[in-house]
Homo-oligomer: A and B are copies of this chain.
Amino acid sequence: MNEVRVNGKRLWERIEELGRIGAVLGPNGERGCARLALTDEDRQGRDLVVSWMTDLGLDVSIDGIGNVVAAMTGRDPSAAPVMVGSHIDTVRTGGRFDGNLGVLGGLEVIETLLALPADLRPRRGVSVAFFTDEEGARFAPDMLGSLVYVGAMSVEDALDVLDADGVRLGDELNAIGYAGSMPCPAADAPHAYVELHVEQGPVLEDSGVTIGVVTGVQGISWTELTITGQSAHAGTTPMRLRHDPGYVAAAINVGVRELASEIGGSQVATVGRCEFRPNLVNVVPSTVTMTVDLRNTDEDQLRRAEAGFAALCNDLAASEGVTIERRTLARFEPVSFDDQTVDLVESTAQRLGFSTLRMPSGAGHDAQMLARICPTAMVFVPSVNGLSHNIAEYTSPGDVTAGADVLLNVVLALANQP
What is A's interface to B at a CB cutoff of 8 Å? Answer: 199-203, 206, 218, 220, 222, 224, 231-239, 241, 244, 246-247, 249-254, 257, 260-261, 267-276, 279-285, 291, 293, 295, 329, 361-364, 386, 388-390
Contacts and interface: CB of A to CB of B under 8 A. Distances in A.
B388 A200 contact: no
A43 B353 CA distance: 84
Contacts of A244: 270
A229 to B, nearest CB: 12
14 contacts: A232-B386, A234-B293, A234-B295, A235-B268, A235-B295, A235-B362, A236-B361, A241-B386, A246-B271, A246-B274, A249-B253, A251-B254, A275-B276, A283-B389
Contacts of A199: 236
Given A241-B386, A272-B279, A235 B218 contact: yes
A281 B274 contact: no
Contacts of A254: 247, 250-251, 254
Given A247-B254, A251-B254, A274-B246, A237 B362 contact: yes
Contacts of A237: 201-202, 268, 362, 386
Contacts of A293: 234-235, 281-282
A239 B260 contact: yes
Contacts of A268: 234-235, 237-239
Contacts of A285: 272
Contact of A238 (B203, B253, B272, B390): B203
A247 B270 CA distance: 9
A293 B239 CA distance: 13
A259 B283 CA distance: 19
A246 B274 CA distance: 9
Contact of A200 (B236, B284, B386): B236
Contacts of A233: 200-201, 362-363, 386, 388-389
Contacts of A257: 239, 247
B241 A202 contact: yes
Nearest to A284: B270
Given A239-B257, A272-B285, 8 more contacts: A201-B235, A203-B238, A218-B235, A234-B293, A234-B362, A235-B361, A236-B362, A247-B254
